[in-house]
Amino acid sequence: MKIIAVNAGSSSLKFQLLTMPEEHEITSGLVERIGYDNAVFTIKVNGEKIKKEQSILNHKTAVELVVKGLLENKIIDSIEEINGVGHRVVQGGEIFKDSVIITDDVIKDIISLNDLAPLHNPANITGIKAFRELLPNVIQVAVFDTTFHQTMKEDAFLYATPYEWYQKYGVRKYGFHGTSHQYVSERALELLDNPKAKIIVAHLGNGASLCAVDAGKSVDTSMGLTPLEGIPMGTRSGNIDPSVLMLVSQKEDKTYGEVLNDLNKHSGYLGVSGISNDSRDIVDNMHKGHHRATLAHKVQIKRIADYIGSYYVYMGGLDAICFTAGIGENAPEIRQDVIEAVKVLGVELDPVENQKRGEHLISSKQSKIKVFIIPTNEEVMIAREVMRLK
């Protein structure tokens, strides 16, 4: 059975075609700069990436191009081979506590949550509509970033704001990267052979979040109402005193929206270092003695350690820390500095294992807490949900 996992952004469409239940990737690809004359379509054929630049004015055209690419490159013989489509949707609010088969009513409910994710949900809906139009008789499933975190208790997800804000407008912590945190934590439970294990997943990429997972359930996570809350990221500030918005708005004659945009797109690694949002650039310049790059690194490490300590206390212990995503999987120096920052918990890395890549244990034999690298696979998680609901 062939399932396609889709992640539609405002100007992009990422996809992966898998055979299920074997969870084998057949191909993957990306459409970038949708809405422009110089859009780029990339598809993997026999292990090689084929790129093509052309005009792609909307998501419907992008979806048609993806299916055409699958046919022309003989990845599939006919469109009927696609048995299901799984769509990543960023915000499910409190409406969606599980993945769901997409209907017209489901689309209306997702649209009703646009205020909670104005940059993401409208783009996700655009991708859904395009695939439903092209494949009307194929099951389409919405898989929400927020669903895994619906097991958080009120003391973890509520803000200490007027309670009416929560009742009227849904102001609360929702958390994101849910499919990644779920995939990695489930794999960690298998590796530990302990279904009741207490785990912290550190999903560290350009966007980054931590999640406390107790016996397979999310009990707390660092991102909040939006992905802006939490630790500093590539371009996001992470936690900040809200009064900063008023101060900077007045001093620089900017609207709140413009200041918020600065916190989302010009802060984090980029804002502190003044160099780059890429952790590799930050580490390279740190070694050259660049003060602000060093500061950007240290600020993020400190905040990650803060969350790990907090989750250790909240869960009443910890069995494993799992690093995943682009930085978590590929940056040994960042893993080393994070673990060094929380060594008081009795955790210690094996320096040789920490230099290696791929799924494996990187903590020392003496460590009281195990540390793993576990590559995430959100597309497999999405395909699993399609199979479960099919």
Active site residues: 145
Sign (positive or negative) of CA dihedral 342, 345, 346, 350: negative
Give Cα separations from 372 to 1, 283, 345 (angstroms): 32, 22, 16
Q: Are 319 and 197 in contact (CB under 8 A)?
A: yes
Sign (positive or negative) of CA dihedral 352, 355, 359, 365: positive
The vertex-331 CA angle with 328 and 333, nearest 5°, equals: 115
Tokens linked to 57: 């004015």
* Amino acid of residue 101: I
Q: Are 374 and 387 in contact (CB under 8 A)?
A: no
Strand partners, 201: 211, 322
Tokens linked to 172: 């609360």
The vertex-69 CA angle with 28 and 23, nearest 5°, equals: 30
CB atoms near residue 23 (< 10 Å): 15
Q: Are 117 and 139 in contact (CB under 8 A)?
A: no
Tokens linked to 208: 């980054």
Task: Please name which of 232, 207, 225 lies closest in space to residue 146, comparing C-alpha atoms.
Answer: 225
The vertex-73 CA angle with 71 and 78, nearest 5°, equals: 20
d(CA 348, CA 367): 5
Tokens linked to 138: 């194929």
The vertex-191 CA angle with 3 and 332, nearest 5°, equals: 90
Residue 53, C-beta contacts closer than 8 angstroms, at least 6 positions apart: 38, 39, 40, 41
Q: Are 44 and 28 in contact (CB under 8 A)?
A: yes
* Amino acid of residue 79: I
